[in-house]
Amino acid sequence: MAEERSHMVTGRSGRFLHGLKIVVLFILALLFLLPFYVIFRNAFTSSEAFVAAEWTWLPDNLDFSVLRDLFSDTDLNLPAAMLHSAIQAVGQTLLTVLVSFMAGYGLARFPNKAATVVLRLTVLTLMVPTAVTFVPSFIMTTRFGWIDSYRGLIIPMMFSAFATYMFRQSLLEFPHELEEAANLDGANPWTTMWRIVVPNSKGIIAAVTTITFIGAWNSFLWPLLVARDNTMTIQLTLSRFMTSQGVNYPKLFAGALVAIVPVVIVFLVLQRYLVQGLETSGMD
């Protein structure tokens, strides 16, 4: 009896706590979404309202000519920056996924001594990523004469230990039977990979693609070192205008809005795969 009663009390207080939790989570969710709203609000606020003493929540300049002005501004040169970023991010993503999928497949399917060594090296590289090795990588890229080129932006960044590790972990669980059936039909490992393994690994491919694309599109330090006028990316353009004097704030935030739209779309479309990918093979 006593136990039942205590259960009922926890039940009732549990329901109260549950409601409280939902309210707190809801406020937190709004706080997390606030920066996105502020970008929108800033982009469509007039300069006067932006620097007014009283903070206004609603934009006072909801006019899409803001975006037209933004794209025709030759100082900012946004269309070029978007193009450079698109080429860099898409190129880096495709190459990373291709190279890492092959490596992950090789590591998962042909476990030999060499694979153990490569896997160790990969895990070690996971811990010492490019952010730390930027000085030596920069020296290397300068030596190759790749400064201010897509080669310089993409190639040194496309060998991702993280992507390879994710693919390897996921492909370890790929059902052997499917591949064996293909082998019996006389397919070699290369065709097996393309015809059997790739089409059945869409989830993990989508996850790695999303992570790589977001990282590439948002990358800052490496483009800061390598990109010049011909390859100036969107993040660099925004950063340069933000840290310079006499900025037109609304225009800058309109630029930010344009810069986050592609990633947010990719993110929202592929979020399900991203979560699944991280949940099944992110960490082990």
Nearer Cβ to another protein, position 94 or 172?
Answer: 172
Is residue 128 involved in binding another protein (CB under 8 A)? yes
Distance from C-alpha of 234 to C-alpha of 250, rounded to nearest angstrom: 16
Is residue 143 involved in binding another protein (CB under 8 A)? yes
Nearer Cβ to another protein, position 61 or 218?
Answer: 218
Q: In 10 A of CB 156, how many CB atoms?
A: 20
Query: Given candidates 66, 253, 254, 273, which one binds another protein under the rule CB under 8 A?
Result: 253
Structure tokens given for 183: 């082998």
- Alpha helix segments (H runs only) across the chain: 2-43, 47-50, 65-72, 78-109, 113-127, 134-143, 150-154, 161-172, 176-184, 189-192, 202-218, 221-226, 234-243, 249-281
Minimum CB distance to another protein, residue 42 (Å):
6
Phi first, then psi, for residue 146 (nearest 5°) are -100, 10
Query: Given candidates 46, 61, 248, 280, which one binds another protein under the rule CB under 8 A?
Result: 280
Distance from C-alpha of 173 to C-alpha of 194, rounded to nearest angstrom: 17
CB 217 within 8 A of CB 92: no
Query: Given candidates 72, 142, 200, 230, which one binds another protein under the rule CB under 8 A?
Result: 142
Q: Tell which residue, 43, 89, 38, has the closest CA to residue 231.
A: 89
Query: Given candidates 71, 134, 150, 174, which one binds another protein under the rule CB under 8 A?
Result: 134
Site for another protein in 4-23 (CB under 8 A): 10, 21-22
Site for another protein in 221-240 (CB under 8 A): 221, 224-225, 235, 238-239
Is residue 266 involved in binding another protein (CB under 8 A)? yes
CB under 8 A: which stretch of 74-82, 86-94, 188-196, 198-206 binds another protein? Answer: 188-196
With 0-12 CB in 10 A as exposed, 13-18 as middle and 19+ as buried, what is 90?
middle
* CA diameter of the chain: 81
Site for another protein in 66-105 (CB under 8 A): 99-100, 102-103, 105
Query: Given candidates 83, 86, 187, 260, which one binds another protein under the rule CB under 8 A?
Result: 260
Query: Given candidates 51, 184, 186, 229, which one binds another protein under the rule CB under 8 A?
Result: 51
Nearer Cβ to another protein, position 158 or 206?
Answer: 158
Nearer Cβ to another protein, position 61 or 125?
Answer: 125
Nearer Cβ to another protein, position 100 or 170?
Answer: 100
Distance from C-alpha of 214 to C-alpha of 245, rounded to nearest angstrom: 29
CB under 8 A: which stretch of 58-66, 68-76, 182-190, 198-206 binds another protein? Answer: 182-190
